[in-house]
Amino acid sequence: MQSSKIKLFALIGYPVAHTLSPYMQMAAFSRLKIKALYIPLAIEPKRLAQAIKMLRSGTSGFNVTIPHKSACMQHLDSVDKLARMIGAVNTVVVKNERLFGFNTDATGFIKSVKTDLKITLKNKACLVVGAGGAGRAVAFALAKEGAKEVFIVDVQKAKAVSLVRNIKKYFPKCRIEASSQHSILNAQYNIDLLVNATPLGMKKTDPLPIDLKILNKTKAVYDLIYNISPTRLVKTAKQRSIKASNGLGMLLYQGAEAFQLWTHKKAPVEVMRKALKRKIAPSGKAK
């Protein structure tokens, strides 16, 4: 049970050893003089229900990362509308031992795109590579922001098709398609924003997640990966004078929103940003 004087927050996932979230959140707690601890917990999928039961009575809130973002939802008392649409929760608020789920990945992504790339998304054509948990949040966020077209590419086309079907239920005016790199190359239009939501790029030896020729049709690139900066995709885009950013901003802004949900206080974003940069430079590992 948490102390009445010190609030306890956590991150659950498997694995979590590489996470940067504790540095960011602890820096924020320190700046605002909040007596709190934030700890990463490696929870195997078979232990998820047991862990959440413990967190219900032992914490004031927690973050959720791979592979629990969808599976955790069945153990919560309430799920925010956006998180329910996406089918994934990454932030949980604990109040009177009741669990309230939110998805701050989507809003964190949009905030980062607007801040780091300085572009708006309304009426834009976007390509999302990867239809996993991160890709789901990104695709829903793009549709919610009013993107005109969202094309989703995944090596497992069935995942992309399923995601497209789900998004269409909520955003019928947005043109959503499960596409292929070949069809994107042959299309007669440009891509305003390309988002890499795959793990390709986490290692320096990884190939590019997209055909190099697609960059010739692309105006801006956002790579969700941030443990290598710049990733090969970001570096290649910038060499072609294309606006590009890694995912550090998304990590920052989703964490800041989680902090505000937990504390009802404005997050010290610049303090959190500096904490992240200290840990990641020059080649740190990341969440």
Q: Give the active site residues.
A: 69
Helical (H) or strand (E) element with 232: helix 232-239
Q: What is the DSSP string of 69-85?
A: TTGGGGG-SEE-HHHHH
Residues whose CB falls within 8 Å of the CB of residue 91, separated by 6 or more in sequence, listed in order: 61, 62, 63, 64, 101, 102, 103, 104, 254, 257, 258, 261
Closest CA to 13 of 88, 107, 84: 88
The single-letter DSSP state of residue 104 is H
Distance CA 263, CA 183 (A): 47
Q: Three-class SS of residue 237?
A: helix
* Residue 194: count of CB within 10 angstroms of its CB: 28
Residue indicated by tokens 């995944």: 154
Cβ burial of 11 (10 Å; 0-12, 13-18, 19+) is: buried
Distances (CA, A) of 145 to 107, 124, 133, 175: 10, 10, 19, 13
Q: What is the DSSP string of 129-192?
A: E--SHHHHHHHHHHHHTT-SEEEEE-SSHHHHHHHHHHHHHH-TTSEEEE--HHHHHHSSS-BS
Do 103 and 89 contact (CB within 8 A), yes or no? yes
